[in-house]
Structure 1
Amino acid sequence: GRVTDKNGQPLAGVAVNIISTKMATRHFERKTDKNGKFVQIGLWPGYYQVIFKKDGYLPITKEVKVSIGEATRLEVKLEKAEKALEKMLSKADQLFLKGNKLYAENKFEEAASTFQKAISLNNTQWGYYFNLGLCYKKMGQSTQSLEAFRKSLELNPDSFVINKELGEALAKLGQYPEAEKHYQKALELNQDDPDVYYNYGVVLINLGKSQEALAAFQKTIQLKPDYPDAYYQLGTLYIGQNKIQEAIDSLNKFIELAPNDPRVKTAQQLLNYLKKQSPSSD
């Protein structure tokens, strides 16, 4: 990537913090060279928060998708900050990084408190609210996590990870129509995540949209052929459509992939019934 000032002049010595949105322990630090450039190799595929900071400038947080076999390039411009504001924002960033460390140590309550302090100093960073939402999610506080993710989305409406988490939070609270909208937005932004397709499919089932749900689960196993839950859902949907052989194949695959799943007993009972309807099946 490359970092410049608002006039396009390269900025050296910019601190670049790269943090996985899935695992806070996956955290890398870089600084830009005299040409304003930086390089980070060896990143796992997925989404990252990338924070750019330099004394005298306003920090910026970007959401970046890293894919296998593709170089990700960033062009970032930093704007000057007033001294008092710079000091306050610097303290907020320190708290944010401290919160990430606490989160990685599974100290979710302390991490949440630390993110709240960061927000009190700087309420313009979507990453602060997003990570606060993740803390509440870990603590099982669905309403609070939903509120934090909503605020994060206000600041970064075209974020894949925020729309994904919002969809999940809304679904947990039974707010399926709104969850559907956020999963649809997430899928507009990224069509490579099997979890989003699966969770979207579950929401569609709850909305009575079985045919659309079927397509979502089919996409799930296309992206991840060893996704047992998707095969179970496909099996039950195929039964509803009287597609006996497809149901048998899906349920058999589910049992093969997840032999210790508590739903195996139900799947086996369904298979026994289906095989009576289709004597030619194995």
Structure 2
Amino acid sequence: MLFLWMLLAAAGPAQECEESTSLARAAYQERRYEQAVLHFTRASDACGASASLHLALGQAQLLARRPANALASLERIASGEPEYVPALKVAAKAQYLLGRDSEAEAALKRAAGRAPRDAEVPYDLGRIYYQQGRHAEAAESLQQAVALDPDFHKAWDNLGLAHEALGEVALAQQHYLRAIALVHKDHPRYDVVYANLADLMLKLGEHGRAFDLAAEASERNPDEPRNLFLAGKALVQLGRSDLSVRWFEQAIRLDPDYPEPHYLLSHAYRKLGRVNDAEKALKRFQTASERAPKVRR
């Protein structure tokens, strides 16, 4: 009888470990990150501390917008563990979100020393440099990323952004188009490069092409307000303020604190003779502008 009780006691934690881990992974795959955090925490208690669980928990906490908690989980991974370099990469993202840019950069440089063939490391460094306005360094780092992995579509996309910021428009277009060639069929949900190129086309006065690109971005990701805003902006430039209204209104429904759609919607309403609606939209623009963060991370 005692032996049977001992077997059942041993099986209990093992079963809870397996079930919690399975639930956590399912929640993570379904982008239910708060639930993933809950289940990974339970799995860690049931399974015992392990570097792989600390890493999984840290990743889920980061995506649940809990960067400080993510750092606490990741700091428990020893430098000798295979998960150490992945942990450094996730920690750098958490540090960046917390405004600790120098620590994020240092973490990525440590990762680069340990894994010099990992293309994600110079990619992440390039993203930080770009956000800091260090565009030449961003381009250099992102060029290193695509040299390590020529099929790294996000790196090509961001290399386009870096060269656009440097005023090298033709080169930027080449990089955006390289990214589009990679994502067109193989990454049907990746929308960002279409929006980035649409934005550039607007600056160059190619408004019809800008609309087509923004519409494609919106089809790929209809929940991203920027995609809808860019489509509406292109329609305004094409003289179709009447058609732009629904794009701006949907962008605002998705993110009421996004200032720019309110502003252009106000202009569209005014052109259509809807003066009261124009005044209301302008007031909402002013309110949203006051709430908008000075730096988007």
TM-score range, shorter chain: 0.5 to 0.7
Partners of 2:242 and 2:131 in 1: how far apart? 40
| Map of 1:100 onto structure 2 | 89
Cα contact 2:146–2:152 (8 A) shared by 1? yes
Which one has more relative contact order, counting CA pairs under 8 Å at least 6 apart?
1
Judge which range, 130-139 or 176-185, deviates more: 130-139
Q: Are 1:231 and 2:228 matched, yes or no?
A: yes
Distance of aligned partners of 1:126 and 1:228 in 2 relative to their CA distance in 1, 3 Å threshold: closer
Q: 1:127 aligns with which of 120, 123, 126?
A: 120
Q: 2:165 aligns with which of 128, 153, 172?
A: 172
Partners of 1:217 and 1:224 in 2: how far apart? 10
Judge which range, 147-156 or 93-102, deviates more: 93-102
RMSD of aligned residue pairs (Cα, Å): 3.4
Deviation at 1:247, TM superposition (A): 2.4
Partners of 2:244 and 2:131 in 1: how far apart? 35
Deviation at 1:230, TM superposition (A): 2.8
| Map of 2:249 onto structure 1 | 252
Distance of aligned partners of 1:97 and 1:219 in 2 relative to their CA distance in 1, 3 Å threshold: closer
| Map of 1:183 onto structure 2 | 176
Distance of aligned partners of 1:272 and 1:170 in 2 relative to their CA distance in 1, 3 Å threshold: same
Cα contact 1:96–1:118 (8 A) shared by 2? yes
| Map of 1:110 onto structure 2 | 103
| Map of 2:208 onto structure 1 | 211
Deviation at 1:214, TM superposition (A): 0.8
Cα contact 1:96–1:114 (8 A) shared by 2? no
Letter in 2 for 1:209: E
Partners of 1:152 and 1:119 in 2: how far apart? 11
Distance of aligned partners of 1:133 and 1:96 in 2 relative to their CA distance in 1, 3 Å threshold: farther
Partners of 1:176 and 1:222 in 2: how far apart? 26
Deviation at 1:218, TM superposition (A): 0.8
Distance of aligned partners of 1:173 and 1:167 in 2 relative to their CA distance in 1, 3 Å threshold: same
Partners of 1:121 and 1:222 in 2: how far apart? 40
Distance of aligned partners of 1:119 and 1:204 in 2 relative to their CA distance in 1, 3 Å threshold: same
Partners of 2:213 and 2:166 in 1: how far apart? 21
Identity of aligned residues (%): 19
Q: Are 1:147 and 2:140 matched, yes or no?
A: yes
Q: Are 1:267 and 2:265 matched, yes or no?
A: yes
Letter in 1 for 2:181: E
Distance of aligned partners of 1:103 and 1:137 in 2 relative to their CA distance in 1, 3 Å threshold: farther
Partners of 1:229 and 1:187 in 2: how far apart? 18
Distance of aligned partners of 1:44 and 1:185 in 2 relative to their CA distance in 1, 3 Å threshold: farther
Secondary structure of the residue aligned to 1:105 is: helix
Q: Are 1:156 and 2:154 matched, yes or no?
A: no
Deviation at 1:167, TM superposition (A): 2.0
The answer for unaligned runs of 5 or more in structure 1 is 1-39, 47-89, 277-282
Q: Deviations over 1:39-90 (max 9, x none)?
A: x9646489xxxxxxxxxxxxxxxxxxxxxxxxxxxxxxxxxxxxxxxxxxx9
The answer for unaligned runs of 5 or more in structure 2 is 1-23, 32-78, 275-297
Secondary structure of the residue aligned to 2:259 is: coil
Q: Deviations over 1:216-235 (max 9, x none)?
A: 11112212223333333222
Deviation at 1:148, TM superposition (A): 0.6
Partners of 1:124 and 1:258 in 2: how far apart? 39
Letter in 2 for 1:162: A
Distance of aligned partners of 1:116 and 1:94 in 2 relative to their CA distance in 1, 3 Å threshold: farther
Secondary structure of the residue aligned to 1:157 is: coil
Secondary structure of the residue aligned to 1:190 is: helix
TM-score, normalising length: structure 2: 0.54
| Map of 2:281 onto structure 1 | none
